[in-house]
């Protein structure tokens, strides 16, 4: 009789063990599914979507072999994206379009759905393009010796894009030429008053070489 009792008890233990194992496998599959879903979103840069999924996975299985690592990395990337965005906003406020654009791109690389970044990035690209157009137009006028209009365009570029890499040199060169023109003009006036016609002609020729009568 004892033999039969032991057999029944053993059989019941096996059934319970099998049932628990089946339940554990089901839970692990569910946890692996959550983890895979979180990783898919993480790799796509959707950190705000991935974080609660990883947190849920951690709750279900606190001993998952990779969950602590990816949770930490996700949280760090969210903070890095936030810091990058804040730095980009600072440069945007300074009209440093190039640096702001780089930092907005970095933010999107870390967190592809970070709020407002896409529209901000479009804005700084547009503003940087406007500044470059003003500079290019000013350079064209400078080459054509239309110095007054070139100066105005470079000033507009400086106002619109103060961190343009070439605008300060262009402004300085243009202002130096205009100063030289003013000096030559005064010299010509003095020569005319003193009836030094040879000097006057030479001075006017120098003047026209820098600043033709067309403007």
Write the pLDDT tens digit of every residue in 157-177: 999 999 999 999 999 999 998
pLDDT at 16: 47
Query: Which of the given ranges, 7-16, 93-102, 202-211, has the highest pLDDT on average?
Result: 93-102
Q: Which residues contact residue 150 at a Cβ distance below 8 angstroms, ignoring those fewer than 6 apart?
A: 138, 139, 141, 142, 170, 174
Q: Which residues contact residue 179 at a Cβ distance below 8 angstroms, ignoring those fewer than 6 apart?
A: none
Mean pLDDT of the chain, nearest integer = 82
Separation between Cα atoms, residue 35 and residue 70, nearest integer Å: 10
More confident of the two residues 64 and 188:
64
Separation between Cα atoms, residue 4 and residue 1, nearest integer Å: 5
For residues 100-124, one letter each, b for 16 or more C-beta atoms within 10 angstroms of the residue's C-beta and e for the rest, the string is: bbbbbebbbebbbebeebeebbebb
* Mean pLDDT, range 187-200, rounded to an integer: 60
Q: Which of 34, 100, 94 is nearest to 61 (CA)?
A: 34
Helix/strand/coil for 196 = coil
- CB-CB contact of 66 with 35 (8 Å): yes
Q: Which residues contact residue 149 at a Cβ distance below 8 angstroms, ignoring those fewer than 6 apart?
A: 141, 215
Per-residue pLDDT tens over the stretch 117-161: 999 999 999 999 999 999 999 999 999 989 999 999 999 999 999
């Amino acid at each position: 009789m004892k033999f039969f009792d032991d057999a029944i008890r053993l059989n019941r233990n096996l059934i319970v063990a099998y049932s628990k194992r089946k339940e554990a496998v089901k839970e692990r599959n569910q946890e692996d599914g959550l983890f895979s879903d979180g990783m898919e979103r993480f790799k796509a840069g959707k950190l705000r979507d991935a974080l609660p999924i990883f947190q849920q996975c951690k709750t279900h299985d606190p001993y998952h072999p990779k969950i602590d690592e990816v949770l930490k990395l996700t949280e760090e990337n969210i903070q890095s994206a936030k810091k990058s965005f804040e730095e980009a906003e600072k440069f945007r406020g300074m009209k440093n379009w190039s640096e702001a654009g780089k930092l907005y791109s970095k933010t999107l690389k870390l967190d592809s759905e970070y709020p407002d970044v896409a529209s901000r990035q479009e804005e700084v690209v547009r503003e940087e393009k406007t500044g470059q157009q003003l500079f290019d137009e000013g350079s064209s006028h400078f080459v054509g010796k239309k110095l007054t209009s070139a100066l105005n365009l470079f000033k507009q570029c400086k106002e619109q894009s103060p961190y343009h890499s070439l605008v300060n040199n262009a402004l300085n060169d243009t202002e130096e030429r205009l100063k030289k023109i003013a000096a030559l003009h005064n010299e010509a006036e003095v020569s005319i008053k003193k009836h030094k016609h040879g000097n006057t002609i030479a001075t006017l020729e120098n003047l026209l070489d820098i600043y033709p009568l067309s403007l």
